[in-house]
Structure 1
Amino acid sequence: MTDTIFAKRLSIEQVEEGHDLAPKFDADGLIVAVTTDAATGDVLMVGYMNAEALKRTIETGEAHYWSRSRKLLWHKGASSGLVQKVVDLRIDDDQDAVWLKVEVAGSGASCHVGYRSCFYRSVPLQSSVSPELRLEYREAEKTFDPLEVYGDVPNPTQL
């Protein structure tokens, strides 16, 4: 894979004020990707992209990510049918994070656990931080059954 579609980072002015796409990938070759629902603005997930995932997302208009646990390129929705069609792709000021506004096919879910959003729980604020702290569910029910969609449960070594 070649990332020749990306410009070399030459100056702060070029990166922050210019028209060149010159993403800054971290030491592992990744960039953070925040994904939101294009209609509601709800955060659906946070993932990572390597140069090839970003390039394929740009070329196809569908979200591609790099799976850190599986160490492979991943076309979101390829196995579940919950493809993320990118409506708008933005990059932050210093080009080390991207924001995807997407429309999700099917049930509109993006979480492999079955909820619409990966952010389906809330941390209670102004609570003592202790083992008794309990997360609060913000989504009442799952949008789909992960066992029906994926056929098995996540590998426990990924936990």
Structure 2
Amino acid sequence: MEQLTQWVMAGGVIVSPACIAPSEHVAKLFGITAASYTKSRYFASWEDGMMMEKELEYMDEPEEKDFSLGNERLGMAIKTYGYTLSTARVLARFNTGEPAVTVNEMDKGRVYSFGLLWRDVIQRSQLNKDFSAQRSYSNDFEPSADTFPLFVRSVYAK
């Protein structure tokens, strides 16, 4: 873990889904001290002002400011992990106010953590097993699954 921390401090970047149970070393690297699991977070929104950040440069539609994680009316949502932060900064928050996406800056590097699993937000929607997370029934733009690859693309380009 020490080598990984040194690599990040020298300019390395980590993008991680679901930091579920941070140990002492992981907590230092991610800037997260605890994670709480639930299936009652139905959407998340990028923090105000974040749409201008380099990490979100490819997200240019108003619908991409929020991403849907389930259907509150039906009481169904994917597994999510809200974080308790030490040194990380919040990039997006769940509808409950808890951090959904964080970044921990360490010297020249960064560690990004999402409070969800990639398979739940990307693959589920492609297989139509996303707990009716779409905001419209038909013929509408639903970018929720697109925001995550776009985020990784912009971090890679950066």
Taking structure 1 as the reference length, the TM-score comes to 0.28
CA radius of gyration, larger in:
1
Higher RCO by CA contacts (8 Å cutoff, separation 6 or greater)? 2
Higher strand proportion:
2
Higher helix proportion:
2
